[in-house]
Amino acid sequence: MTQPQIYRFQWQGIEIEAIYSPIKWGVIAHLEIRSIKPECAPLPITETGYKSHFHPCGTVEANGGDVVAQINAWLDEEATKPEWRAYVAKSRQGELF
Q: What is the pLDDT of residues 39-94, one digit of tens each?
A: 999 999 999 999 999 999 999 999 898 999 999 999 999 999 999 999 998 888 76
Q: Is residue 97 part of a domain?
A: no
Q: Is residue 17 part of a domain?
A: yes
Q: Is residue 78 part of a domain?
A: yes
Compute the average pLDDT of residues 11-29.
Answer: 95
Annotate 21-52 with DSSP letters as a single string: EEEETTTEEEEEEEEEETBT--BTTBSSSEEE
Q: How many domains does the chain have?
A: 1
Range of the domain at 80: 5-92
Q: Among residues 49, 44, 52, 48, which one has the least CA distance to residue 83?
A: 44
- In angstroms, rounded to a whole number, what is the distance separating the alpha carbons of residues 13 and 96? 24
Q: Is it the case that residue 28 has pLDDT exceeding 70?
A: yes
**Cβ atoms within 10 Å, residue 29:** 19
Q: Is residue 14 part of a domain?
A: yes
Q: Is residue 82 part of a domain?
A: yes
Q: Is residue 19 part of a domain?
A: yes
Q: Is residue 70 part of a domain?
A: yes
Evaluate if pTM is beyond 0.85. yes
Q: Is residue 41 part of a domain?
A: yes
